[in-house]
């Protein structure tokens, strides 16, 4: 028996004959034959092929014999067939299937990854998440455990951030809808700003230009460099919040030189923010009582007339009338030229023309509130007339309005006017007899605004007309002085000259 020597080991049983070996190895034994053609050797590369050369298959190669001179033909690696006939080595070996069907061949076709057959061989890329060479058995994980932990934590952070962002967006959307965004988005003259835009306009809420119990007012700048005032309330009553949409619509229709213009609003907050035109000098209250600069009587008259014109427009504009509800000097703003602008419509309400409104909640500054409104809860436009009468007292006396149970601030002034002692209350800075006469006339207008019975009060149109008549008398008096050539200094000027001389 001829057998491969490296495979066979002799035993005593083998000496008993062929039948013992047949029973011992029923499937036969591997055998190696040294087969070769002895009529020459393989031609050298690029050399001529001699007649009778037998390796004619395109997918085969010539191999020189090792035991003696000669050669034999062999199909290329990964090809199978007969190398001695034309096109005999054509069948591609599926190494992956061989590995699967014959585990003992896995060492012949190693693959520590994903086996993929191809023509003329096979590939073995590493499994997903690993790197290296699967055939050489060098596949290792791309990310070590520490890297996986870091990536996992980072992924969790990203997910949490995304969840927070989505939550914020949903919250902003909810605020937008609760604050009437779908309705206000189509309102003329009003622009809807996002939180991001408001933050950019205010430079992250850097400069506060006003602050009080209502909240804060920030200075903002639009893209065209125009300055605006952005009002942010501390809180808003649930009942008033429901009416916010109506309030903005009211303000959007108010376009008058003596009314602060509402430019837009931000609805992506629990408490909406309002964007107004910026009025440089601030409010009348601060100008009167926090700054002791002299205010000419002519300037005071212009402030009174302009404020009256703004309130008259508010009361008469549109099909429905509007009352302000919180008329006071702090809600009258002044620009660089002392032009007044009525502001803060936070308590304004639509009223059907000619009707009154009952309310259980008294809203506004107690020093300016109509007693009827406070005691009976009856709100009319005459309530604004009363508040304006208190503002006139402040312009005349330059003393801030105060509140007590007897309403002595108003009562004392009215009593003095009825007793023709109004000049005792006039601001001491006013010394010209002509100016004092003008302020006495304004005092009579204020008294009519402050009558206890709302029905006896004049409306804002009538108040405006009377103030205009006083302004006209002031101008006539000024022209008369110029015509007569009265160049003698007025008492105010004498005091000024003395001050300069000292």
Question: What's this model's pTM, rounded to 2 decimal places?
Answer: 0.63
Cα–Cα distance for residue pair 305/187, rounded to 1 Å:
31
Q: Which two tokens mark 65?
A: 């014999």
Burial of 258 (0-12, 13-18, 19+ CB in 10 A): buried
Q: Which two tokens mark 53?
A: 């050369």
Q: Is the Cβ–Cβ distance between 284 and 334 less than 8 Å?
A: yes
pLDDT in tens, 263-311: 998 888 888 888 999 999 999 999 999 988 899 999 999 999 999 999 9
Cα–Cα distance for residue pair 271/175, rounded to 1 Å:
8
Asked, colleague to colleague, whether 179-278 and 283-502 share their fold, the answer is no
pLDDT in tens, 148-176: 788 889 999 999 999 988 888 888 888 88
Of 39-48, 224-233, 446-455, minimum mean pLDDT range: 39-48
Q: Is the Cβ–Cβ distance between 422 and 364 less than 8 Å?
A: no
Q: Which two tokens mark 468?
A: 């205009």
pLDDT at position 76 over 90: no
Q: Which two tokens mark 325?
A: 């509800």
**Residue 296, pLDDT score:** 94
Q: What is the mean pLDDT of residues 309-325?
A: 82
**Domain boundaries defined on the chain:** 1-33, 34-92, 179-278, 283-502
pLDDT in tens, 224-234: 999 999 988 76
Q: What is the mean pLDDT of residues 135-148?
A: 83
**Residue 302, pLDDT score:** 96
Catalytic residue among 112, 123, 286, 326: 326
pLDDT in tens, 346-398: 555 544 444 555 554 446 688 999 998 888 877 788 999 999 999 999 999 99
494 band by pLDDT with thresholds 50, 70 and 90: very low
**Residue 397, pLDDT score:** 96
Distances (CA, A) of 370 to 16, 375, 387, 447, 498: 135, 9, 7, 13, 45
Question: Looking at domain 283-502, which of 1.10.510.10, 3.40.50.10470, 1.10.760.10, 3.90.1330.10 is its CATH number?
Answer: 1.10.510.10
**Residue 299, pLDDT score:** 95
Q: Which of 36-45, 184-193, 285-294 has the highest mean pLDDT?
A: 285-294
Q: What is the mean pLDDT of residues 114-138?
A: 88
Q: Is the Cβ–Cβ distance between 173 and 195 less than 8 Å?
A: no
DSSP 259: B
**Residue 501, pLDDT score:** 34
| Max CA pair span of the chain | 163
**Residue 502, pLDDT score:** 38
Average pLDDT for the chain: 83
Q: What is the mean pLDDT of residues 394-404?
A: 95
Distances (CA, A) of 375 to 177, 358, 360, 450: 37, 11, 10, 15
498 band by pLDDT with thresholds 50, 70 and 90: very low
Cα–Cα distance for residue pair 363/433, rounded to 1 Å:
40
The residues with which 219 forms a beta bridge, in sequence order, are 229
Q: Which two tokens mark 203?
A: 């430079």
| Residues of each annotated binding site | 232
φ, ψ for residue 117, nearest 5 deg: -75, 150
pLDDT at position 85 over 50: yes
Q: Which two tokens mark 215?
A: 């909240």
pLDDT at position 490 over 50: no
Q: Is 326 a catalytic residue?
A: yes
Hey, what CATH topology would domain 179-278 get? Phosphorylase Kinase; domain 1 (3.30.200)
| Residues of each annotated binding site for ATP | 232
């Amino acid at each position: 028996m001829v057998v491969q020597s490296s495979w066979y080991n002799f035993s005593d049983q083998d000496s008993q004959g062929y039948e013992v070996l047949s029973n011992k190895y029923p499937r036969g034994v591997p055998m190696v034959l040294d087969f070769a053609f002895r009529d020459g050797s393989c031609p050298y590369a690029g050399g001529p092929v001699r007649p009778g050369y037998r390796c004619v298959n395109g997918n085969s190669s010539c191999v020189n014999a090792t035991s003696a001179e000669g050669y034999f033909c062999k199909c290329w690696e990964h090809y199978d067939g007969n190398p001695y006939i034309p096109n005999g080595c054509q069948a591609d070996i599926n190494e992956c299937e061989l590995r699967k069907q014959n585990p003992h061949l896995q060492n012949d076709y190693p693959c520590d990854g994903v086996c993929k057959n191809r023509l003329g061989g096979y590939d073995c890329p590493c499994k997903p998440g690993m790197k290296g060479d699967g055939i050489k058995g060098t596949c290792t994980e791309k990310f070590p455990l520490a890297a996986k932990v870091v990536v996992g934590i980072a992924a969790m952070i990203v997910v949490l951030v995304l969840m927070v962002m989505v939550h914020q967006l949903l919250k902003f959307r909810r605020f937008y809808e609760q604050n009437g965004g779908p309705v206000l988005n189509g309102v003329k003259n009003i622009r809807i700003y996002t939180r991001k835009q408001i933050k950019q306009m205010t430079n992250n809420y850097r400069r506060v230009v006003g602050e009080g119990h209502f909240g804060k007012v920030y200075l903002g700048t639009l893209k065209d460099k125009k300055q605006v005032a952005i009002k942010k309330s501390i809180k808003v009553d649930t009942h008033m919040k429901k009416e916010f949409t109506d309030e903005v619509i009211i303000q959007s229709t108010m376009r008058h030189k003596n009314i602060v213009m509402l430019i837009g609003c931000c609805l992506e907050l629990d408490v909406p923010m309002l964007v107004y035109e910026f009025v440089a000098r601030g409010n009348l209250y601060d100008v009167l009582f926090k700054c002791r600069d002299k205010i000419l009587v002519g300037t005071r008259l212009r402030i009174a007339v302009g404020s009256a014109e703004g309130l008259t427009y508010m009361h008469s504009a549109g099909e429905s009338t509007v009352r302000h509800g919180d008329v006071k000097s702090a809600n009258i703003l002044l620009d660089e030229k002392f032009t007044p602008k009525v502001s803060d419509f936070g308590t304004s309400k639509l009223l059907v023309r000619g009707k009154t409104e009952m309310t259980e909640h008294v809203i506004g500054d107690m020093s300016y509130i109509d007693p009827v409104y406070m005691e009976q809860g009856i709100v009319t436009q005459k309530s604004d007339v009363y508040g304006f009468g208190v503002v006139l007292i402040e312009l005349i006396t330059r003393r801030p309005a105060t509140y007590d149970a007897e309403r002595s601030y108003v009562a004392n002034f009215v009593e003095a006017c009825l007793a023709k002692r109004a000049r005792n209350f006039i601001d001491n800075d006013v010394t010209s007899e002509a100016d004092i006469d003008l302020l006495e006339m304004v005092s009579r207008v204020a008294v009519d605004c402050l009558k206890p019975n709302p029905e006896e009060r004049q409306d804002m149109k009538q108040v405006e007309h009377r103030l205009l008549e006083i302004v006209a008398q002031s101008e006539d008096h000024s022209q008369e002085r110029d015509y007569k050539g009265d160049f003698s200094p007025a008492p105010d000027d004498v005091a000024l000259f003395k001050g300069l001389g000292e």
